[in-house]
Amino acid sequence: MIRRTKIVATLGPATDDPAVLERLLLAGVNMVRLNFSHGDADSHRRRAQQVREISQRVGISVAVLGDLQGPKIRISRFTDGKVMLKRGAEFCLDAGLGKNEGNEKTVGIAYRDLPGDSQPGDVLLLDDGRIVLEVDRVDGDRIHTQVKVGGEISNNKGINRQGGGLSAPALTEKDKEDIVLAAEIEIDYLAVSFPRNAKDIELARQLLRDAGGKAFIMAKIERAEAVADNVTLDSIIQASDAVMVARGDLGVEIGDAELIGKQKEIIAHARRLNRVVVTATQMMESMIHNSLPTRAEVFDVANAVLDGTDAVMLSAETATGDDPCAVVEAMSRICIGAQSHRSVTISRHRVDTTFSSVEETVAMAAMYSANHLEGVSAIVCLTESGTTPLLMSRISSGLPIYAMTPYPATQRRVALYRGVEPVPFAIEELPEGELELRALAELRERGAIKTGELVIMTRGDKLGVGGGTNSLRIYRA
């Protein structure tokens, strides 16, 4: 059975061995993530090049995601590396303190504007919410707090404010440098961290285009402001090509109880607006060191599949884990198991709405036909840009969508779309009907379809022109 939900794997020290990376890709990874929060430019160049070389050699399309660090607000360092904070104790965050002078009473902060953003009563969350501080008062560069939830805290841990609202811009100077790097190594997707609104996405896109990059832009939904209302959420989604449900920081800012519903909401909004959506953070975290996932992790991944996510993402599990390939194999099994549920093949996407483009009309007609005509085994899309298979993938179906295109960049991009399989195929000007017959022959040779099966195929009259899909035909292979 073809796995419809895609897998994103973060690269790191655990995947640097070319043999391990090859096994990882063959295990079913559809997109690799370069985390610009760690590593240097040379390591990102090397990893991207390794992925391209290996994927080309083994004959699979794998997208590359560059993930910007964003304005990660952190404490500085402690003299002894870590301290224990006790509940009820006073603790000070001091923007004027030296980088390595922290102790059990105070620590420096890298974001010097945090005191100006804080006021009495604010709740500050350190280390993904493991430490909870309540602001008593602000005195110049010093934020005086009381420890509400204590524990051990070490160097450089992140700071969030419950409810969001910190003024840090989405793109830092480091991000702008990394955007130039992303353009240089020709990544396929660029993830923007902590966007507050659509303008942050538009700025990232402009900077990328100015640097010569053509990547799709992925908005990481991880600020409380981004999900405060549907207007803001939808504007961010519409400004992007894809979104990520970044559950770590988002969960810290809005609380775990509210996160459950927000994940479903973000996925539903992204699919309704014809955008790709990735669900991320701690999906298989126990497998960083363990050989099997917990039952909770199995249900978490399966629930995201049932929600309709295009992809599920692995972070430290593959970047620094003991057995990255085993994690991908386990995640793949869970996705395949979840997709067998009947709800995954039922959809009312845009059933009650009208369409403004011929391309979307043809795509929706193809999927409706595929889901209601007995004997159809596949949907085939001859595509230039990949837009038609994206539109098709918004409809739930148990049938594979084969995106046949001659362009490697399109092949890599569509590799992330739920239920879409990229197929390299030279689209040429041929006599009427011959191009379609050649496409069917290619799929038969690959074992994707069998002789005699019904196949729905879409294409445009004008070859070599993106966005021109205007015909639908049904063939017997």
pLDDT above 90: residue 354: no
Q: Could you give the CA distance from residue 125 to residue 128 in angstroms, rounded to a whole number?
A: 7
pLDDT at 345: 60
Q: Which of the residues 23, 46, 74, 264 is marked catalytic?
A: 74
Span 117-175, pLDDT tens digits: 999 999 999 998 899 999 999 999 999 999 999 999 999 898 999 998 888 889 999 99
Residue 431 has pLDDT above 80, yes or no: no
Catalytic residue among 3, 4, 33, 205: 33
Which of 3, 205, 220, 262 is the catalytic position? 220
pLDDT of residue 405: 96
CB 265 within 8 A of CB 299: no
Catalytic residue among 5, 15, 279, 281: 281
The per-residue pLDDT of the chain, averaged, comes to 93
The pLDDT of residue 397 is: 83
Q: Taking 90 as the threshold, does the pLDDT of residue 432 lie above it? A: no
Give the number of other CB atoms < 10 A from CB of residue 424: 14
Check if 52 is active-site: no
Active-site residue 33, yes or no?
yes
The answer on pLDDT for 350 being more than 60 is no
pLDDT band at 210 (very low <50, low <70, confident <90, very high): very high
Of 155-169, 181-195, 201-215, which range is least confident?
A: 155-169
pLDDT of residue 140: 94
CA dihedral sign, ordered 391, 397, 402, 408: positive
Q: Which helix (H) or strand (E) is 215 found in, with range? A: none
Q: Averaged over 371-382, what is the pLDDT?
A: 93
Q: Three-class SS of residue 21?
A: helix
Q: How far is CA 212 from the centre of its chain?
A: 22
CB atoms near residue 368 (< 10 Å): 14
Residue 19 has pLDDT above 70, yes or no: yes
Question: 10 versus 98: which is more confidently predicted?
Answer: 10
Residues 347 and 397: beta-carbon distance below 8 Å: yes
Looking up tokens 């079913």, which residue turns up? Answer: 28
Query: Alpha helices of 423-473 — where are they, by DSSP H?
Result: 434-446
* Backbone φ, ψ for residue 50 (5° rounding): -60, -45
Which range, of 136-150, 195-209, 282-296, 341-355, averages the lowest pLDDT? 341-355
Compute the distance between CA of residue 303 and CA of residue 301 in angstroms, rounded to an integer. 5
Q: Is 413 a catalytic residue?
A: no
| Mean pLDDT score, 396-411 | 94
Is 99 catalytic? The answer is no
The closest alpha carbon to 154, from 83, 79, 252, 74, belongs to 83
Q: What is the mean pLDDT of residues 48-54?
A: 98
Per-residue pLDDT averaged across 42-52, rounded? 98
- C-alpha 344/C-alpha 321 separation (Å) is 31
Q: Considering the entire predicted model, what is its pTM? A: 0.92
Q: What is the pLDDT of residue 72?
A: 80
Q: What is the pLDDT of residues 435-468, one digit of tens each?
A: 999 999 999 999 999 999 999 999 988 766 667 8
